[in-house]
């Protein structure tokens, strides 16, 4: 059961990466999204059910409206109002984008035109297509949504700890350049080493406590104004 939930959570995570990511990476991510669907029995069954007897060719004619004005290259999209048809329609569109049957760049500028910008057009595509698509699937599998939130929080914490560790290395190098007593450099090295150990253990409470002491140490040696990005980075933890 947990493995099934994890696979759906992975799909939702890829949806989030598409939603919050950049246009230039969208093509690759759409392929990853479809692989996540193929790797989940539950998602495969869902999309098999909604696409069964779904008339995609007719839906394209109804939903993708070509320009009414002569010479205009901008069309409009009217997505199906029924949830099953919407999921089927979006799934088929994504498959065609991934296969190259639909050129994504042209598709965006034709049906999601916004100031002639791919980035702005992609943002409109995200709002009208990807966000409701993701939310509908999340509502079908609420447990996966909860699992996914925990997974994202853990991933964000790990990324923040990684950046924090890099800042500790920079701070250690910075301290060595200061004109302070060797004893003070040794004290700083001890504190920074303990901070690194706490980061390795993911002990956020100890990190915060040690940073309070380190901030006081910097004030004593008159270096708090030059201090590193470890404090700003720690705010993410």
With tokens 């956020």, the residue in question is 204
4-18, 133-147, 153-167, 222-236 — which is least confidently predicted?
222-236
Helix (H, G, I), strand (E, B) or coil at 64: strand
Contact between 74 and 113 under an 8 Å Cβ cutoff? The reply is yes
State whether the Cα torsion 108-113-117-121 is positive or negative.
Answer: negative
pTM: 0.65
CA distances from 123 to 4, 19, 75, 91, 171 (A): 31, 8, 17, 18, 39
Q: Read off the DSSP letter of residue 66.
A: P
* Rounded-to-integer distance, Cα 218 and Cα 205, Å: 20
Confidence of residue 37 (pLDDT cuts 50, 70, 90): very high
* Rounded-to-integer distance, Cα 22 and Cα 126, Å: 11
Contact between 207 and 199 under an 8 Å Cβ cutoff? The reply is yes
Q: Per-residue pLDDT tens for 138-191?
A: 888 887 766 666 666 777 788 889 999 999 999 999 898 888 888 999 999 999
Q: Per-residue pLDDT tens for 60-112?
A: 999 998 765 555 678 889 999 999 999 999 999 999 999 999 999 999 999 99
* Rounded-to-integer distance, Cα 26 and Cα 165, Å: 31
Helix (H, G, I), strand (E, B) or coil at 77: strand
Closest among 61, 125, 105, 59 to 86, alpha carbons compared? 59
CA distances from 132 to 15, 32, 63, 177, 201 (A): 11, 19, 16, 53, 39
């Amino acid at each position: 059961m947990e493995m099934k939930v994890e696979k759906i959570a992975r799909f939702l995570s890829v949806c989030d990466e598409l939603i919050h990511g950049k246009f230039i990476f969208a093509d690759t991510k759409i392929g990853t999204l479809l692989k996540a669907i193929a790797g989940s029995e539950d998602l495969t069954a869902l999309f098999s059910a909604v696409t069964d007897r779904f008339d995609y060719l007719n839906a394209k004619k109804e939903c993708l409206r070509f320009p009414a004005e002569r010479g205009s290259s901008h069309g409009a999209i009217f997505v199906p109002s029924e949830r099953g048809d919407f999921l089927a329609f979006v799934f088929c569109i994504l498959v065609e984008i991934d296969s190259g049957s639909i050129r994504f760049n042209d598709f965006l500028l034709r049906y999601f035109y916004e100031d002639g910008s791919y980035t702005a057009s992609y943002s409109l595509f995200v709002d009208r297509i990807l966000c409701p698509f993701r939310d509908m699937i999340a509502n079908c599998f609420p447990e996966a949504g909860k699992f996914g939130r925990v997974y994202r929080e853990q991933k964000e914490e790990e990324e923040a700890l990684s950046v924090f560790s890099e800042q500790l290395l920079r701070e250690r190098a910075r301290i060595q350049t200061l004109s302070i007593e060797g004893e003070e450099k040794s004290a700083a090295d001890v504190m920074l080493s303990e901070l690194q150990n706490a980061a390795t253990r993911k002990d956020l409470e100890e990190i915060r406590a040690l940073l309070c002491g380190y901030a006081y140490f910097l004030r004593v040696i008159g270096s708090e104004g030059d201090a590193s990005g470890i404090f700003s980075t720690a705010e993410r933890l």
